């Protein structure tokens, strides 16, 4: 009789462990910079709402790193925010190279994953030189883009000043 409860307990522990860690895929590139400068962010009427929500987060994170914002500045920050069904692949027209492979559902997963991506590019206004490019992406089942946005912005800017290439960080969270 005691043995019949073991599979139930094992299954309960297995399900309880799902979704407690979030992997953030980060890619950063650019030249190491020694001194933070002043930057600007431009908006238009066509700027998507998700990008507008990211601007204060970007400004705050860059300020913490020693940068300051101004209306006219030698550096320009561009922000992109994307959300897509994670089961869809992104690729080029010949279909041979996937820019982002589809993500399969986990066993016992109750909802479909979405992939959220944030990209931040820092360029020098005078000559258009790209000084930094940081990208962060995560898969989420239940978390909204608005809830994931602060962590994605922090991850995309984590290497500002000293880019490290491509890597993954894992954080605790509920999705």
Per-residue pLDDT at 13 exceeds 50: no
Is the pLDDT at 17 greater than 80? The verdict is no
Higher-confidence position of 138 and 91: 138
- Where does the pLDDT of residue 168 fall: very low under 50, low under 70, confident under 90, or very high at 90 and above? very high
For the entire predicted model, the pTM comes to: 0.81
97-156 pLDDT, tens digit per residue, is 556 666 666 776 678 889 999 999 999 999 999 999 999 999 998 899 999 999 999 999
Mean pLDDT of the chain: 84
Region 66-72 average pLDDT:
94
Rounded to an integer, the average pLDDT of 54-62 is 96
Q: What is the reported pLDDT for 88?
A: 75
Q: How many CB atoms lie within 10 A of CB 86?
A: 22
pLDDT at 109: 65
pLDDT (0 to 100) of residue 102: 67
What band does 43 get if pLDDT is binned at 50, 70 and 90?
confident
Higher pLDDT, 10 or 54: 54
Domain parsing of the chain, residue ranges: 31-172
CATH number assigned to the domain covering 31-172: 3.30.160.670
Given a contact cutoff of 8 angstroms between Cβ atoms, the answer to whether 145 and 85 are in contact is: no
pLDDT of residue 33: 82
The pLDDT value recorded for residue 96 is 55
Sign of the dihedral defined by the CA atoms of residues 22, 67, 35, 40, in that order: positive
**How confident is the model at residue 163, as a pLDDT?**
95
């Amino acid at each position: 009789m005691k043995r019949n409860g073991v599979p139930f307990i094992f299954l309960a522990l297995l399900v309880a462990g799902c979704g407690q860690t979030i992997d953030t895929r980060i890619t950063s590139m650019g030249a190491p910079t020694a001194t933070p400068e002043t930057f600007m962010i431009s908006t238009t009427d066509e700027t998507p709402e998700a990008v507008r929500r990211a601007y204060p987060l970007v400004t705050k994170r860059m300020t913490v790193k020693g940068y300051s914002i101004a209306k006219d500045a030698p550096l320009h920050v561009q922000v992109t925010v994307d959300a897509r069904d994670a089961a869809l692949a992104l690729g080029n027209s010949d279909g041979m190279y996937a820019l982002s492979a589809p993500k399969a559902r986990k066993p016992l997963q109750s909802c479909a994953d979405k992939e959220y991506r944030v990209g931040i590019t820092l360029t020098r206004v005078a000559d258009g030189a790209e000084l930094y490019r940081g990208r962060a992406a995560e898969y989420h089942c239940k978390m909204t883009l608005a809830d994931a946005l602060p962590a994605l912005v922090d991850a995309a800017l984590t290497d500002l000043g000293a880019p490290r290439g491509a890597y993954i960080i894992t954080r605790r969270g509920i999705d």
